[in-house]
A and B are shown apart, each in its own frame.
Chain A
Amino acid sequence: MLSRVSTYLYLRPKLVLGLLLVPPLLWFLVIYIGSLISLLVNSFFSLDSFTGQIVREFTLKTYAKLFETSNLQIFARTTIMAALVTIACAALAFPLSYYMARFATPRMKTFLYIGVTLPLWSSYVVRVYSWKLILAQEGIVSWFARIVQLDGLLDWYLSLPIVGGPSLAISSTGVFLVFVYIWLPYMVIPIQTALERVPKSLIEASSDLGAKPAQTFRNVILPLAFPGVIAGSIFTFSLTLGDFIVPQLFGSSAYTIGRAVLTFQGTSNNIPLAAAFTMGPILIMIVYLLIARKLGAFDAL
């Protein structure tokens, strides 16, 4: 019986392909792509401000709201934060990646690789939580500042506008630090992959042609590792753009895209505005991905 079925299927490879493809394809088309389409549809609806009900009629009213000053500020604030986090991640990740790719012994490399992937796969919430402990007023940072007698400096820094706040646990600096910590592994792996692919002979050729190590680094290694940086930045940028938990826990009352979306759909049930708002990061990411592809980032993924 089974053999009969097997033969029937063997002679019909297209049917088998269909049977294999239909469940995952159906799932993704209906649930995922369907959801994305419903997001798009919802963004053209609006919320009746009196009844609090969603009006299911086509309108551009909701999109128009995005261009109110306060909302534009939200986009700008979030994008700047994402860019700063990305730059910091790249700066921190590079030496580690470079060491892993070029100097570490195979054993050391395995150890470092696990050292980077373990946090990557570890619980996001717990990793965020750990910074609640670190940045708290009585926490390790303040303690350390007291020990080295720099608590005056810390207080002065916190009194600055924009970067400061009542404590490190409630300041843009806190948000920035936590973001860098959380997304750093996503930057290390692609850079390391890109650096691994730089053939050793190229570096030897460069020094053979008279370049000093610093020149080789700047003229050969850095340009070749750049696609890896771009690939990593896709993650750090996109993840920062959409996150609402870190700004909520460590930020001031100023909204970011993520917080805005969460609040619109949650407290005010304004799903149309939340949907329209989400088109912001989607659009920014699409542009970003297009640029990244031009720069060859996808080869490094």
Chain B
Amino acid sequence: MGESAILFKNVSRHFGEVKAVDDVTLEIHDGEFFSMLGPSGSGKTTCLRMIAGFDRPTLGQIFLYGQDVSNLPPYDRSVNTVFQDYALFPHMTVGENIAYGLMIKGLAKDQRKKQVDEMLDLVRLTGFADRKPSQLSGGQRQRVALARALVNHPKVLLLDEPLGALDLKLRQQMQVELKAIQQRVGITFIFVTHDQEEALTMSDRIAVFNLGKIEQVGSPADIYEHPQTSFVAGFVGVSNLIGGEVAKRITGAEDKFSIRPEKIHLSSMDAKADADMYSATGKVRDVVYLGLYTRYLVELDGGGDLVVVEQNLKSTSMDVMKSKGQQTRLMWKKEHISKLGG
């Protein structure tokens, strides 16, 4: 893990007045499955394009395994990309698409064929070499794009929202498969997505982007359980953000903090909070029954709202509806709150 695969040193990319990437410093380790997560326009795709070489930093440097690649064209970098729209060459067969990089390198035909077949096995498309991309389904095209990139044994593989065009079921299946392939080939994967669930499922580490800057870098658990900024708390999963007077009444400090809805428990008014717990009282204003769980909106007595989610382990929809309008006491463990900066 020690070696750094990609290193951004104070990288900025300006498009005219717009700072698409604003002074980003970031290290991605060798062999990592690293995700860049953020809404569109947050700078994640521009970072990816700068690693690939399609774009160059306005300021700063990018290193690939210690080599400064800031000004190398894409074809001189040992990096390959799986494009969002796959970018398969329509005039070539699947086999020719996958062999393209090898052909450019000048590899002999029989060697190309051997490696192409291996790759087709890896992505479970054995026997598809002679089809045209137009004869494939979306999921199949996506696998071809992956094989076409991997066959070159890049040091780093870039994936630009590759699952965006697939339907939900296929997407979930491909998430598992991608992770498995990454572990098998051991290449550093950099995955760009705006889907937080996807990032949490697959990544070793995640960088959350907002407005051209990185808000937080950490493991999925880190990001989810200890968001450091209100943007991360709000973008990754659902959070209650509490600050000012309300925070002071509950925790004794005026700092802004966040608490996940599922960490809060509803109990009766006379329940006693343990020493390692915070508690607050309020009135249930709204109840939404969602099958697996129920979402409550509780209006705190001293002002402010909290969203609470409880699994319907025993309760039925009839039970949960009854709680609407009732006074309740909310409790959660002190360790579950995250103090937010920014």
Residues of A within 8 A of B (CB): 3, 6-7, 10-11
Contact = CB atoms under 8 A, between A and B. Distances in A.
A11 B72 CA distance: 8
B244 interface: no
B76 interface: yes
Contacts of A3: 75
Contacts of B75: 3, 6
Nearest to A8: B73
A11 B76 CA distance: 12
Interface string B271-304: 0000000000000000000000000000000000
Contacts of B73: 6-7, 10-11
10 contacts: A3-B75, A6-B73, A6-B75, A7-B72, A7-B73, A7-B76, A10-B73, A11-B56, A11-B71, A11-B73
Interface of B is mostly: loop
For the complex of A and B, the 8 pairs showing the least CB-CB separation, nearest first, are A10-B73, A7-B73, A11-B71, A7-B76, A11-B73, A6-B73, A6-B75, A11-B56
Nearest to A13: B56
A6 B75 CA distance: 10
A16 to B, nearest CB: 12
Choose among A6, A10, A11 the residue with the greatest number of B CB atoms under 10 Å from its CB. Answer: A10
Contacts of A7: 72-73, 76
A207 to B, nearest CB: 38
A6 B53 CA distance: 14
Contacts, number: 10
Interface of B: 56, 71-73, 75-76
Contacts of A6: 73, 75
Contacts of A11: 56, 71, 73
Contacts of B56: 11
A41 B260 CA distance: 79
A277 to B, nearest CB: 48
Nearest to A11: B71
Contacts of B71: 11
Given A7-B72, A11-B73, 8 more contacts: A3-B75, A6-B73, A6-B75, A7-B73, A7-B76, A10-B73, A11-B56, A11-B71
Contacts of B76: 7
A209 B76 CA distance: 64
Contacts of B72: 7
A2 to B, nearest CB: 12
A11 B73 CA distance: 7
A65 B75 CA distance: 66
A3 B75 CA distance: 9
Choose among B56, B71, B73, B76 the residue with the greatest number of A CB atoms under 10 Å from its CB. Answer: B73
B56 to A, nearest CB: 8
A6 B72 CA distance: 11
A95 B132 CA distance: 42
A265 B210 CA distance: 69
B33 to A, nearest CB: 30
A292 B50 CA distance: 46
Nearest to B73: A10
A7 B77 CA distance: 12
A3 B56 CA distance: 19
A7 B56 CA distance: 13
A16 B190 CA distance: 31
A15 to B, nearest CB: 14
A4 to B, nearest CB: 11
A11 B69 CA distance: 12
B52 to A, nearest CB: 13
A6 B73 CA distance: 9
Contacts of A10: 73
A251 to B, nearest CB: 53
A298 to B, nearest CB: 28
A215 to B, nearest CB: 45
A234 to B, nearest CB: 36
A3 to B, nearest CB: 8
A10 B73 CA distance: 7
A244 B76 CA distance: 60
A120 to B, nearest CB: 30
A6 B71 CA distance: 13
A10 B75 CA distance: 10
A250 B282 CA distance: 96
A7 B73 CA distance: 6
B5 to A, nearest CB: 23
